[in-house]
Amino acid sequence: MAYKKLKLWFDKDLAKDLAKKISKVDPSFNGTSFIKSTTKQLPPLELKARVEVFADELFHHFDGDYDQAMAVLLKILGPENEEETGMFTEYYWIMPIAKFVEKYGRYNFKLSMVALEEVTKRNTSEYAIRPFIEKDQKKTLKQILKWSKNSNKHIRRLASEGVRPRLPWASKLDCFIENPKPILPILNNLKEDPSKYVQKSVANCLNDIFKDNLEIGKALVEEWLSDHPTKETKWIIKHGIRSLLKKEDKWARGVEKKVKK
């Protein structure tokens, strides 16, 4: 992927590429119409709007049949990403599929959860999972808790990144800004994760919690510190309290000393 602004990769060439991939699985797909309808809308748009155009045109060209569309789209995803990078370079083209699930998949929970698992193994589903949390928090958190124990690091990262109360470039999860306690079991499952990729996400989620629920965040960290924390847990704590350290918070300074031991 040669360097250029990410939004510019969502262009006529990508429309052609997606049409080609889909047509190999579903010869009835009208690739010519998809390319034409998608491309004419793109020039004035920024990244998020371009991705949504692709998702909307996929929905339209599958005649609004979400289940049939996913049966095809899941077959074009290709090999999983074994690395902790490349989501927005080699696998950027999967973003419209994530948006497709986010926008049109809320009424087929089971299929959508399968789809988000597969997407996040290559790109990311951290944005797409959020409407499902808002629609049915209890049911979705049950699924996310299972993800936090998954053998795949990308899925485990989704478990923490997807529930971040203040995830950048995403709508805030006001339910967890008001009360983050429902997501604490997820973070507890991930506090010793061996993947730095996952550790960074857990630390970011912890940092989000501190912004609105200082005492809940402190209590969680104190609990982790009292339970013979591993080096992974200590790293997560240190990075999770970074905003408090910048504010010269006395409690955070004390915690920093503990995790350095």
Q: Provide the pLDDT for residue 261.
A: 78
pLDDT of 224 higher than 80: yes
DSSP state of 79: S
Distance in angstroms (rounded) separating the CA atoms of residues 76 and 51: 17
pLDDT in tens, 64-115: 999 999 999 999 999 999 999 989 999 999 999 999 999 999 999 999 999 9
Q: What is the mean pLDDT of residues 8-32?
A: 98
pLDDT score at 4? 81
What average pLDDT does the structure give for the chain?
97
How many residues are recorded in the chain? 261
12, 129, 194, 231, 252 from 46: Cα distances, Å: 15, 22, 36, 41, 39
Q: How many other C-beta atoms are found inside a 10 Å radius of the C-beta of residue 90? A: 16
Q: How many helices (H) and strands (E) does the chain have?
A: 16, 0
Averaged pLDDT, 233-246: 98
Q: Which SS3 state, helix, strand or coil, does residue 73 take?
A: helix
In this prediction the pTM is 0.95
Distance CA 75, CA 36 (A): 23
The pLDDT of residue 2: 58
* The pLDDT value given to residue 240: 98
Confidence of residue 122 (pLDDT cuts 50, 70, 90): very high
Q: Hey, what's the torsion of the CAs at 152, 154, 157, 158, to 10 degrees? A: -110
* pLDDT at residue 115 in the model: 98
Q: What is the pLDDT of residues 155-167, one digit of tens each?
A: 999 999 999 999 9
Rounded to 10 degrees, what is the CA torsion of 112, 87, 10, 95?
A: 10
